[in-house]
């Protein structure tokens, strides 16, 4: 359990919303490093669906993520 807490496997809905906002901003400015960091973190904590949405630029799917949270 300590490993899970240390590695932050869980995130809040607010954190997920912030990731969508930051990723969209990074895409607009061409900040690939920030995009990759967010994508890596989401993959590491097993949020593969949400990561795939960001990678493909489907930011409009955020309401769907919120509904299914």
Close Cβ partners of 53 (under 8 Å, ≥ 6 residues apart): 59, 61, 62, 65
Q: What percent of the chain has pLDDT over 70?
A: 88
Q: Could you say which DSSP state residue 61 is in? A: G
pLDDT in tens, 50-69: 999 999 999 999 999 889 88
Domain span holding position 21: 2-67
Per the structure, how many domains does the chain have? 1
Structure tokens at 57: 């630029």
The pTM (predicted TM-score) of the whole model is 0.84
């Amino acid at each position: 359990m300590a490993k899970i807490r240390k590695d932050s496997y869980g995130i809040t809905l607010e954190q997920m919303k912030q990731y969508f906002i930051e990723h969209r901003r990074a895409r607009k400015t061409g900040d690939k490093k920030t995009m990759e960091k967010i994508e890596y973190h989401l993959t590491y904590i097993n949020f593969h669906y949400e990561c795939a949405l960001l990678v493909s630029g489907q930011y409009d799917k955020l309401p769907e993520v919120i509904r299914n949270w």
